[in-house]
Amino acid sequence: MSDPMPPPADLSHAGAVVDRAIEHMAGKHLDPIAIASALLGGALGVLAHSMDDAAIVKVLENALASVRSGELRHGPEPR
Residue 45 scores a pLDDT above 90 = yes
What is the arithmetic mean of pLDDT over 11-37?
A: 96
- Domain extents in the chain: 22-74
Residue 6 has a pLDDT of 74
Q: How far is CA 47 from CA 22, 30, 51, in A?
A: 20, 25, 6
pTM for the full model?
0.72
CA atoms of 71 and 5, how far apart (whole Å): 21
Residue 24 scores a pLDDT above 70 = yes
State percent of the chain over pLDDT 90.
72
What is the arithmetic mean of pLDDT over 31-51?
A: 96
With beta carbons less than 8 A apart as the criterion, state whether 56 and 48 touch: yes
